Amino acid sequence: MTTVTAEPKTTSTGTQRRKDAQRSGRLALVLLSPTVLVLGLVVGYPVISAIRESLYERGQGLDAEGFVVQGDKFVGLSHYRDIFSGPASTAFWNAFWNTSFFTVTTVVIETVLGVAMALVMHQAFRGRGLVRASILVPWAIPTAVSGLLWRWVFQADGVANAVIGRQVLWTTEGFHAKVAVIIADTWKTAPFIGLLVLAGLQLIPREVYEAARVDGAGAWKAFWRITLPLVKPVLLVAVLFRMLDVLRMFDLPFVLIGARKESVETLSMLAWDEATNLRYGAAAAYATILFLYVAVVAYAFVKLLGADILGQVREQGRSRPDRRERRRRAVVPREVTA
Amino acid sequence: MTALSARRAAAAPPAPRRPRRLLPYLGIAIVGLYCLAPFYWMAISAFRRPEDQFDNSPLPTPWSLKNFTAVFRPDVGFERSLLNSLVVAGTTTALVLAIGICTAYALARLRFRGRYLVLGIVLATSMCPGISIVVPLLKLFTNLGLINTYQAMILPSLSFALPLAVWNLTVFFRQLPFELEQAAMCDGCTRGAAFRKIIIPLAAPGVFTTAIITFIAAWNEFIIALSMVNKKEMQTATVSISKFTGAYGFDQPFGTQMAAGVIVTVPLVIVVLICQRRIIAGLTAGGVK
């Protein structure tokens, strides 16, 4: 964008290439720096400053002469001590287990449902466009609005109770509140997994199934031995993204059940609650713990299951001069000159 | 083909021919119902009269627009919330696209060391929980007196919107014909000019899709808008709806909320339905191959 220097015409390809690489590097620097700068400012800085803040306490005590003293006081790891084994530990471990529970249950349910949906959509020849459109509706609805929508469905005299014919007070404290959150979250995101898996299914060549059939594999076996292994890369990435999303869940339980409700309070909600009560130190400690939790889960997932997140870009980068590419390369200039 | 029919046969082995062929359609119907039924319920509830809000009939009798007029009562200030949402989501999208296009181009086209490192950083930041950003920024913005401003909502929104856009655009840009750009440079274009004259027009569909996805993500954002604003006039639509209060104290005005939900959602749904194909391409490219 900023390089408006004229291209020097060199005859030696070696120096040309070196110069090209140099110019690429410089251009890359110019093009990348805004993003790196912005991300550093809005992600890097907050994360680091949260770690710093978690070691401080908002000081607002009286000094010896009875004046109000403003300013942060260094308290070391005492917030973390409070959280892990001190007065805040009950709330923390409750939120920690809630978050983990939601993550495991919703991701498992959504994955199973999503794969089932993808299989259904993959088999349909007509109506696929229609169903693909309808699958985008839950995705497009704001989570806050979907929280309200489910709060309405789960009202004491709402439609959910009318359908099951029982009187469950879904939005009050208790296990049913967890169930309500899981149902609402599943509704919103299972179709999304279905969408991603469907894209993966469409990449599997028909011949593989035919070969399996010739070899005498039944439909069930074909699913476990062919479909699942072949969509695994897609599925792993989808599951990873969902997991990280559920770990930071905030708006759905917040709107559907409410703030400060023990049975659905997640780590994000706990941190938010502390922050709005101006206990920034404790809030920052919670936020840092959640950040580390997410990082550990992501790292473990990528290492243990080998989810190749960068695969999309790297693979295409590597396979650049393959046959199809070369053919296109041969064709395109002719099209341009024509 | 054969595998498909085999699988279908396995799903309903003893059934005669006809139901077997109908089975996929039944599946499709179930998936459609699953996705649309709650949304349908929201829309239908919005059109009921406040008196028979708790009616569970599948269609409102009689239809009424009272809930919608309640949304736009002057004391609710919902128009202003919609405008706020539009400003925040629109500015975020514009900023993110301006920055993201440059970065994605570099990541997709240029060979330089540390390419995967940058991609990794972009991806890692997209995984950062919102609250880890909101807590420190809330304190910072409070000290700077930025609470209740658009900037206080737009800047943190970049944290999730920028990685999303960069990732989507990078994947899109990789699919563009590289040769055209080289041809342009052979004809004497500089790299910058080649980028502007060749790549941008060709990349327009991808950019457009990314714009929609980013806009929807920013429009649906909740925790930042909830934390950075405590004045009613500056609330975004999603926050405003969640804070609607009933005319009589504690009862939640569900009818009004459903109507507001319809107003906030239906434009998105229409855009999504129109650009269905592109958005699916964008979403699947963003997450997976």
Around A163, how many Cα atoms within 13 Å sit in the side-chain half-sphere? 7
pLDDT of residue A8: 47
Q: Which one-letter DSSP state was computed for residue B222?
A: -
Which residues pair with residue A74 across a beta bridge? A56
Contact call for B3 and A38, based on CB within 8 A = no
Cα distance between residue B144 and residue A73, in whole Å: 20
pLDDT of residue A3: 43
Cα distance between residue A305 and residue A232, in whole Å: 10
pLDDT of residue A206: 86
Contact call for B159 and A39, based on CB within 8 A = yes
Cα distance between residue B93 and residue B87, in whole Å: 10
Tell me whether A297 touches chain B (CB under 8 Å).
no
Q: Which of A100-109, A136-145, B12-21, B277-286 has the lowest mean pLDDT?
A: B12-21
pTM, full prediction: 0.84
pLDDT in tens, A208-254: 888 888 888 888 888 888 899 889 888 888 898 899 999 999 999 99
A3 or A207, higher pLDDT: A207
A38 or B281, higher pLDDT: A38
User: Is A275:A230 a contact under the CB 8 Å cutoff?
Assistant: no
Note every long-range contact of B9-18, with CB atoms under 8 Å and residues 24 or more positions apart, other chains counting.
B9/A219, B10/A218, B10/A219, B10/A220, B11/A219
pLDDT of residue A318: 43
Tell me whether B241 touches chain A (CB under 8 Å).
yes
Query: For all residues of chain A together, what is the average pLDDT?
Result: 82
The tokens for B106 are 């570099």
Cα distance between residue B121 and residue A44, in whole Å: 10
Using CA of residue A136, residue A137, residue A141, residue A147, what is the dihedral sign? negative
Chain B residues in contact with A288 (beta carbon < 8 A) = 132
User: Is A62:A76 a contact under the CB 8 Å cutoff?
Assistant: no
Cα distance between residue B24 and residue A22, in whole Å: 56
pLDDT in tens, B175-194: 887 788 788 888 888 878 88
Most confident of A19-28, B82-91, B250-259: B82-91
Contact call for A333 and B268, based on CB within 8 A = no
A303 or A331, higher pLDDT: A303
Tell me whether A7 touches chain B (CB under 8 Å).
yes
Q: Could you say which of A38, A120, A268 has the minimum Cβ distance to residue B129?
A: A268
pLDDT of residue A294: 94
- Environment class of A134 (CB within 10 Å of its CB; exposed 0-12, middle 13-18, buried 19+): buried
Q: How confident is the model at residue A203 (pLDDT cuts 50, 70, 90)?
A: confident
Chain A residues in contact with B199 (beta carbon < 8 A) = none
Residue from B8, B111, B289 to probe the interface with A (highest A Cβ count within 10 Å): B289
Phi, psi (rounded to 5 degrees) for A216:
90, 20
pLDDT of residue A308: 66
pLDDT of residue A111: 95
Contact call for B129 and A291, based on CB within 8 A = yes
Cβ neighbours of residue B175 closer than 8 Å, sequence gap 6 or more: A316, B206
pLDDT of residue A327: 39
Most confident of A19-23, A290-294, B45-49: A290-294
SS3 at position B48: coil
Phi, psi (rounded to 5 degrees) for A60:
-150, 55
Residue B288 has pLDDT above 70, yes or no: no
Cα distance between residue B51 and residue A128, in whole Å: 40
What percentage of chain A reaches a pLDDT higher than 70?
A: 82
Residue A117 has pLDDT above 60, yes or no: yes
Closest CA to B35 of A180, A146, A187: A187
Residue B159 has pLDDT above 90, yes or no: yes
Cα distance between residue B45 and residue B256, in whole Å: 9
* Angle of helix A228-247 versus helix A280-305 axis, rounded to 10: 170
Tell me whether B53 touches chain A (CB under 8 Å).
no
Tell me whether B128 touches chain A (CB under 8 Å).
yes
Cα distance between residue A66 and residue B116, in whole Å: 57
Q: How confident is the model at residue B251 (pLDDT cuts 50, 70, 90)?
A: low
User: Is A157:B254 a contact under the CB 8 Å cutoff?
Assistant: no
Which residues pair with residue A71 across a beta bridge? A59
Question: CA gyration radius for chain A?
Answer: 27
Residue B6 has pLDDT above 60, yes or no: no
Tell me whether A187 touches chain B (CB under 8 Å).
yes
In DSSP notation, A93-111 reads: HHHHHHHHHHHHHHHHHHH
Cα distance between residue B152 and residue B150, in whole Å: 5
What percentage of chain B reaches a pLDDT higher than 70?
A: 89
What is the ipTM for the molecules in this complex? 0.84
A73 or A71, higher pLDDT: A73
Q: How confident is the model at residue A144 (pLDDT cuts 50, 70, 90)?
A: very high
Residue spans of beta strands (DSSP E) within A169-291: none
Q: Which one-letter DSSP state was computed for residue B51?
A: G
Closest CA to A181 of A273, A90, A110, A272: A110
Q: Which of A95-104, B11-20, B197-206 has the lowest mean pLDDT?
A: B11-20
pLDDT in tens, A268-308: 999 999 998 888 889 999 999 999 999 999 999 888 877 66
Tell me whether A56 touches chain B (CB under 8 Å).
no
Cα distance between residue A86 and residue A282, in whole Å: 12
pLDDT in tens, B266-285: 888 888 888 888 888 877 76
SS3 at position A56: strand
Q: How confident is the model at residue B92 (pLDDT cuts 50, 70, 90)?
A: very high
SS3 at position A55: coil
Give the other-Cβ count within 10 Å of A280's Cβ. Answer: 23
Closest CA to B167 of B197, B125, B196: B125
The tokens for B166 are 């960069």
SS3 at position A278: coil
pLDDT of residue B4: 46
User: Is B34:A187 a contact under the CB 8 Å cutoff?
Assistant: yes
Query: For all residues of chain B together, what is the average pLDDT?
Result: 83
Contact call for B192 and A39, based on CB within 8 A = no
Helices (H), A40-157: 45-53, 78-85, 89-123, 128-140, 143-153
Chain B residues in contact with A171 (beta carbon < 8 A) = none
Residue A317 has pLDDT above 80, yes or no: no
Residue A331 has pLDDT above 50, yes or no: no
The tokens for B131 are 């609250």
Tell me whether A228 touches chain B (CB under 8 Å).
no
